[in-house]
Amino acid sequence: MEISTDLRVPMHEILIGPNSILEGLRAGKRSLKKLYIAKGRSGEKIRTIVQLAKEKGIPVSRVERDQLSSMSGNDRHQGVLALVGGQKYFSLEEVLEEIQGKEEPALFLLLDEIQDPRNLGSILRTAETAGVDAVIIPKNRAARLGAGATKSSAGAEEYVRVVRVTNLVEAMRRMREAGIWLVGADQGAGKEYEQVDLRGPVALAIGGEGRGLRRLTRESCDILVRIPMKGRISCLNAGVAAGILVFEVLRQRKK
């Protein structure tokens, strides 16, 4: 049954863009229910998407581009849209148990009220490329997994374990008990990030856009570090800050 062109689908129930959908098909992390492709949209990546969809028994429909815009509520779908089942969130217990048997020290990201889905998607992309064990977000006042984050993550959302917790401070306490060192990014910190040993099991706490870490989150960290800056702007984009710190961990561990 076709969906009418005036029906907008909730953002958490769709994937848009060929990259996100291709990775969603490959990862198999959640079910794709139906695939829509704009008439006239072609190319090698589109053929791969259609082939994978048919192999998995996912119906494929060719529709007018305007219908995709109506369903997604915008024109950023690039001619490809998929209806999906709900994204799976992991529990903190699951990811803490999984790291017990790993040889390499654990690496987590704690996101304190990152509310821009594009920032969340950018951080998920960084997390996937760096092999982060899990990204932990609060349930309230934070961006959730969905089309906005998925497109920015270029499909990385399909591979990264994301944990939603009711209380971020309580989650930090449980992580400390599991032997994980909590490092917060704060521009008022006395030490620069390169001056701190990040080779052990570590969770990097990144604050929300404009305000940084909340007081309780900041006080729950074992240590605070700052990223040195020379310009007039006093703070970095959350996604950029996360990338700098995550790859500093990898640099130190490789060294």
CATH of the domain at 136: 3.40.1280.10
Inter-helix orientation angle 238-254/117-130, to 10°: 10
Whether 4 is in a domain gets the answer: no
74 lies in the same domain as 120: no
**Residue 146 vs residue 238, higher pLDDT:** 238
The structure tokens listed for 168 are 């971020």
Enter the pTM of the model. 0.71
* Alpha helices in 56-184, H assignment, sequence order: 65-72, 92-98, 117-130, 147-153, 168-177
Predicted local distance difference test score (pLDDT) of residue 1: 31
Chain centroid to CA 238: 12
Owning domain of residue 74: 11-84
What's the CA gap between 58 and 61, in Å, rounded? Answer: 10
102 lies in the same domain as 175: yes
Chain centroid to CA 234: 25
What's the CA gap between 119 and 238, in Å, rounded? Answer: 7
Instruction: Give the total number of structural domains in the chain.
Output: 2
pLDDT in tens, 184-223: 999 889 999 999 999 999 999 999 877 789 999 999 999 9
Beta strands 134-138; 191-192: pairing state: unpaired
End residue of a domain, out of 24, 58, 84: 84
99 lies in the same domain as 65: no
Percent of the chain with pLDDT over 90: 50
Whether 2 is in a domain gets the answer: no
